[in-house]
Amino acid sequence: MSLLEFLDYSGVAVFAATGALAASRKELDLIGFLFLAAVTGIGGGTLRDLILGQAPVFWVMRPTYVVVCVAMGVLVFFTAHLFESRYRLLVWLDAIGLSAYCVMGAAKGLAATASPTVAIVTGTMTAAFGGILRDILANEPSVLLRPEIYVTAALSGAALFTLSSEMGAPLWLASLAGAILAFGVRGGALAFGWTFPPYKARPGRHPDDVM
């Protein structure tokens, strides 16, 4: 199993776990766990493959990915109560999934189009999409709208992978570097509350001004 394949299965598995953890927070039943696990685990990659014109999508070609999601859903159903904070576990697993997925998305985008711009965009979008889908389906506030750095982590990992690949780095090195950078950025944001300066409305004007 190559490093890319390992990243691929890891990304699917940990995103599936975050979907199941979201199900646990909503107190769904076992099938609800499996459904959210599957949708979150394979959602980003499904979007990536559709955009790149690679349909049938990856898990239709290799149903093992679905089996992995189901296994993670069952595992979380029976072990989630063991964790001190399921939300903390969810966001850290989400960080791992984000790191794996941004490299996979960029790698597939680069292989399909040879355009660095496209690779960075598919890497960033598909890494963020699984978590967005999970939050929408579980009716939770989107991770996208929280102040800590999120999309930037995926973007920096996808960009580092793409640029170092373009400059001739071997695939395993570019993949590893991209995943580590993405995890470092997101992990730092989680551990230390890293943020970028947000947009601020003019003083004296409320940001939610209505028409």
Positions in 138-157 near its own copies (CB under 8 A): 138-139, 141-142, 144-145, 147, 149, 151-152, 155
Is 114 a binding residue for its own copies by CB under 8 A? The answer is: no
Query: Which of 191, 94, 100, 98 has the alpha carbon at shortest distance from 152?
Result: 98
Q: Which is nearer to its own copies, 138 or 177 (CB)?
A: 138
Is 207 a binding residue for its own copies by CB under 8 A? The answer is: yes
Amino acid at 44: G
| CA 172, 177, 179, 180 torsion-angle sign | positive
Q: Which is nearer to its own copies, 13 or 34 (CB)?
A: 34
Q: What is the footprint of its own copies within residues 47-86 (CB under 8 A)? A: 50-53, 55-57, 59-60, 63, 66-67, 77, 80-81, 85-86
Neighbours of 209 (CB within 10 A): 8
The CB-of-20 to its own copies minimum distance in angstroms stands at 9
Length of the chain: 211
Q: Indicate the angle between helix axes 116-137 and 30-51, nearest 10 degrees.
A: 160
The CB-of-55 to its own copies minimum distance in angstroms stands at 3
